[in-house]
Amino acid sequence: MSDQDQTHFGYQQVPLGEKQERVRAVFDSVADRYDLMNDLMSLGIHRLWKRRLIELAGVRRGQHVLDLAAGTGDLSARFADIVGGGGQVVMSDINAAMLARGRERLEDSGSIGNMHYVLANAETLPFASGRFDCVTIGFGLRNVTRKECALAEMQRVLRPGGRGLVLEFSHPTQAPLRKAYDAYSFSVLPLLGRLVAQDSDSYKYLAESIRMHPDQDNLRDMMEQAGFERCEYFNLTGGIVAIHRGVKL
C-alpha cells in the first residue's frame, strides 16, 4: 500500500477508508461526556475561544449559517440567536451520536425554531453551491480524512462575500508553552478520559491528532489553495488554539 493510500489516525498510519470509521468510534465513545470533558480539559476556556469565533464570523440577522462538526451545538445555538427567525442555522456532524446529543441538548433548552440538523461528511456536503453566508468548523477539521476536500466544500457552499472559519487546536508559539502543553496533553488528558469518560484511548488519540494537524501558516495556505481569499489567522492562548478566516469573493 502506497503512502497516498494512507492517512494518519493520531500517530498511526491507516488506510484512507479506515480513518472515518475510527474517528466515528472515538466520538461514539465520548458523546455522553463530551461537554463535561471540554470544560475539564480546557478549564472552561473553550467558551472564550468560541465566543471569539462568533465575533470574527460577523454573522447578522437573517443570514444562513452552516456549523460543521457541530458536536453538541455550542456554536449553532449562539448563531441561531444572532440570525433570528428570518435566518437559518444548519447544525451538521458526521457522527450520529454527537448530532443526536446536540439536538437533544438544544431541544431541552428551547433553542430551536430556525435550526436544522443534517448528518453529513464535510468532504462531500449535500448542499447547493452558494447557499450560506458563513460556514464554520470548530475542533473538527483535524479529524477529517481529506482536509483539502472539506475546505474546498466549505468554500463552494458559501455565497460571494461569505466567510469560512476554522477553530482548531494549533501549535503554541513559544517553546516553554509547547513543552508544558505536551506534558499536559499526553499525561493529564488520557487520565481525565479514564477517570471521567472511562476511555483513555480516545483522549490519547485526540492529543495525537492535535500534533498531526497543520500549523497556522500551513493551514492558511491550504485555505488559499481551496479558493478562499484574504486568509488570516488569530492565535488564542499563545497559539494553543487558532482561528483561521477566509472570504469567498
Tens digits of residue pLDDT in 1-17: 445 678 887 888 889 87
Domain 26-173+205-247 has CATH 3.40.50.150: yes
Tens digits of residue pLDDT in 152-185: 999 999 999 999 999 999 999 999 999 998 888 8
Q: How many angstroms separate the CA atoms of 138 and 54, rounded?
A: 11
Tens digits of residue pLDDT in 107-130: 876 656 789 999 999 999 999 999
Give Cα 233 distance to the centre of its chain.
15
Question: Does the reported pTM lie above 0.85?
Answer: yes
